[in-house]
Amino acid sequence: MREIGLYLGNQTLSAAATENKKVISFSNYSLSESDAKPQDNELNFEVSLNKVSRELQLQQNETINLAIADKEFIIRSFVIPSMSRKEIESSMEFEIDKYIPFKMEDLEWNYSYERISRENKILVSFIGYKRKNFTQYTDSFNRLGFTPKVIEPGGLALMRMVKSMSQYVNLKWYAILEVAPKQGNITFFYNTLPVFSRVVSVDHEGKIDAAKVLEETRFSFQYFKREFRAYDLEKLLVITQEAPESLASMGESLELPVEFINPGELVGADQVDVSRLKAYSSATFDHFIRRFSPCIKLESPFLGGVPAKVSPFRTAIAIAIVVVGVVITIFINASYHRKIVAQEKMLEQKQKEVQLSDDLKRQNIRSIRRYIEEKEKQINVLATRTKARIEAAPILKQIEQAVLDGAQGVWLSKVNFNGGRGKNDANIRITGYIYLNDPNEETLSLDRLMLNLNRDSKIKESFSRLELGGKDKESYEGFEVTMFQIKLY
């Protein structure tokens, strides 16, 4: 049976049809012209998907997987002390809330984790996608009578291909750099877990600008060293169809082993670019065991989160276990019924002796104790947040000074302060814009602002970490500007 893989890039939809990992056909479909409006993306995708359906004569029982450009996803990771899976699950929402600028209910998300070799620590990797956009794409599939099996970042699809090769199976800390016309991407990994991902500008007047690629790659490496200073990268893998000779010096410049991989060599076919390779990687999802494995099994194609089908034999065993459990529960309940009744009478007597509101009187002692403890926690949190806000006030002056000290073309639109849930959880999220009519100068100005904030002694005293939360091009009152988010915590 055929397997269809799609890759949704900036302006093209690439499709790969495979059978038992062998390529049957490749095709590219233009999504829009360069001046198309962002709100047309859904319609353009559905039109291109319809073309794929007609030209490949897709059947409703065929497997269809979709990979999307990594910049559309939120990829975050953090290192925590070793703990049980149950403890990780209970703390996930709290931890993620500190690292992402969106509400959890607005995201389609999942996570995975892995114990770090020879350390008593765990790396947790979180991947999120705006639920509104996710629904738009699944609706496009449904309107054409198809159901995608997997929707994932293109970087995860490439990782499966790389980790399937014997020479890269044992890689732990590494990065994959995609160099393609107009735009590239770099993703850092620990084994099969994405650590973080960044867009890399590679195009200059229709040609690959090696100096720009090296500069932005070096910036990404600096961020990795700052956030994961305890770990060293083993290798950088550069996936590109035609690597300029000037990229050959990357290893020496980055002081790291660098290997170049031609997409055609991975697929065993000619004329394969990075986009087609991602489409092929998505199509062959089921053929590679080394992949990102979501911890939450959902009835959703997001990251392949649909649970495996249970065989009738296993279903029968599960039913038998439930029946036995019910019988045992009834027996235990009957045996201890008298003791439970006696305890309830004693608790009722205790409640009458204590002066409580009518609502609390109807609750048991354990519930009342929990109520008191919750109120004490709320008071402590309120006191901590109030103190944090007072201490953070002078920091706003330092942020203003960081903008004035050489960060040209920068203006701040929003500074959000969050007192956090504990003593050391306060954070500040800065949103702003840069306009210098030159993307390179705007990037340098943002780097200067980051450097000024990082060097400020008062900011360092209050916040231990500085993170670039996001950077993108936006239209502001008719001008194309750079929007950025910076987080101090």
pLDDT bin (cut points 50, 70, 90) of residue 224 is very high
pLDDT tens digit string along 234-273? 999 999 987 667 788 888 889 999 999 999 988 888 889 9
pLDDT tens digit string along 394-411? 778 888 888 888 778 898
Structure tokens at 324: 């036995």
Q: Which CATH class for the 3-287 domain?
A: alpha beta
Structure tokens at 11: 């302006």
Question: N- to C-terminal Cα distance for the chain?
Answer: 51
What does the domain layout of the chain look like in residue ranges? 3-287, 312-351, 393-488
Is residue 446 within a helix (H) or strand (E), and if so which, with residue range? helix 439-455
Q: How far apart are CA 51 and CA 27, in angstroms?
A: 10
* pLDDT computed for residue 155 by the predictor: 94
Q: How far apart are CA 119 and CA 98, in angstroms?
A: 24
- What's the chain's average pLDDT? 84
Q: How far apart are CA 155 and CA 71, in angstroms?
A: 10
Structure tokens at 454: 């990082």
Q: Which pairing describes strands 3-8 and 12-19: parallel, antiparallel, or unpaired?
A: antiparallel
* pLDDT computed for residue 170 by the predictor: 93
Structure tokens at 57: 């004569």
Is residue 143 within a helix (H) or strand (E), and if so which, with residue range? helix 131-143
Beta carbons within 10 angstroms of residue 357's beta carbon = 7
Measuring CA to CA, which residue among 223, 219, 226, 217 is closest to residue 249? 217
Maximal C-alpha separation, the chain: 86
CA distances, 471 to each of 138, 252, 393, 399, 430 (Å): 27, 28, 26, 18, 12
Structure tokens at 317: 């065993």
pLDDT tens digit string along 157-199? 999 999 999 999 999 999 999 998 777 899 999 999 999 999 9
Q: Which residue has the higher pLDDT, 203 or 229?
A: 229
pLDDT at residue 425 is higher than 90: no
pLDDT bin (cut points 50, 70, 90) of residue 365 is low
Q: What is the mean pLDDT of residues 442-460?
A: 87
Q: How far apart are CA 64 and CA 3, in angstroms?
A: 6
Mutual orientation of helices 154-163 and 274-283 as an angle, nearest 10°? 80
Q: How far apart are CA 345 and CA 97, in angstroms?
A: 44
The CATH code that applies to domain 393-488 is 3.30.70.60
Q: What percent of the chain has pLDDT over 70?
A: 86
Q: Which residue has the higher pLDDT, 281 or 335?
A: 281
Is residue 66 within a helix (H) or strand (E), and if so which, with residue range? strand 63-68
Q: Which pairing describes strands 107-115 and 410-418: parallel, antiparallel, or unpaired?
A: unpaired
pLDDT tens digit string along 65-104? 999 999 999 999 989 899 888 888 887 777 777 777 788 8
DSSP alpha helix (H) spans, 228-364: 250-254, 263-267, 274-283, 312-335, 337-353, 358-361
CA distances, 266 to each of 222, 291, 484 (Å): 29, 17, 36
CA angle 407, 410, 414 (to 5 degrees): 125
Q: What is the mean pLDDT of residues 120-125?
A: 93
